[in-house]
Amino acid sequence: MFKTIFLAFALAPLTLPNPALAQSAVKLIKTVELPGYSGDFDHFAADYDRNRLLLAAEDHGTLEVFDLKTSAHLQTISGFGNPHSILVRKGAPTVFITDSTDKNATIRDATTYADKKKVALTPGSDTAKYDAAANL
């Protein structure tokens, strides 16, 4: 009986309404329309050096580029199969974008997004990490 009562008291806070949870911590401040686009965005990366927000448009096989301050859609970069993770390094002239298809990951110019180098990864690669000590 003691275990049952203790369990009831332990679980009670989980079932009571919590006013703090009713308020969202995220506030919508602007909506940006992308005519003709449907689907989801997989990964996001902020490029503070160039004031850009980069979005991997997985369903469209594109990289979408936005202005961080105005939210304006600046550019659509094609040539991807299924883009995923975007790695932007402060001060670096390139960005690294993984692609889970046979198009492989690419290193691209961080300003023009021109393809500079292909990087063969395991098919289905989805994430990217940077090791500052090894510069990899």
Residue 65 domain-assigned?
yes
Residue 78 lies in a domain: yes
Give bridge partners of residue 96 from the DSSP assignment: 87, 107
Question: pLDDT tens digit string along 55-82?
Answer: 999 888 999 999 999 999 999 999 898 8
Residue 50 lies in a domain: yes
In a domain, 132, yes or no: yes
Sequence-distant contacts of 27-35: CB under 8 A, at least 24 apart = 30/71, 32/66, 32/71, 32/72, 32/73, 34/64, 34/73
What's the sign of the alpha-carbon dihedral 29, 32, 38, 39? negative
Q: Which residue has the higher pLDDT, 38 or 97?
A: 97
Q: What is the mean pLDDT of residues 7-28?
A: 62
Domain that holds residue 89: 39-136
Residue 116 pLDDT more than 60? yes
Q: Which residues contact 81 (CB under 8 A, 6 or more apart)?
A: 61, 99, 100, 101, 102, 103
The reported pLDDT for the residue numbered 56 is 92
Residue 10 domain-assigned (yes or no): no
Total tally of structural domains belonging to the chain? 1
Domain contains 22? no
Residue 74 in domain: yes
Whether pLDDT at 34 is above 90: no
Residue 72 lies in a domain: yes
The region of weakest confidence among 69-73, 111-115, 128-132 is: 128-132
CATH number at residue 85: 2.120.10.30
For the ranges 21-35, 36-50, 69-83, 104-118, the lowest mean pLDDT is seen at 21-35
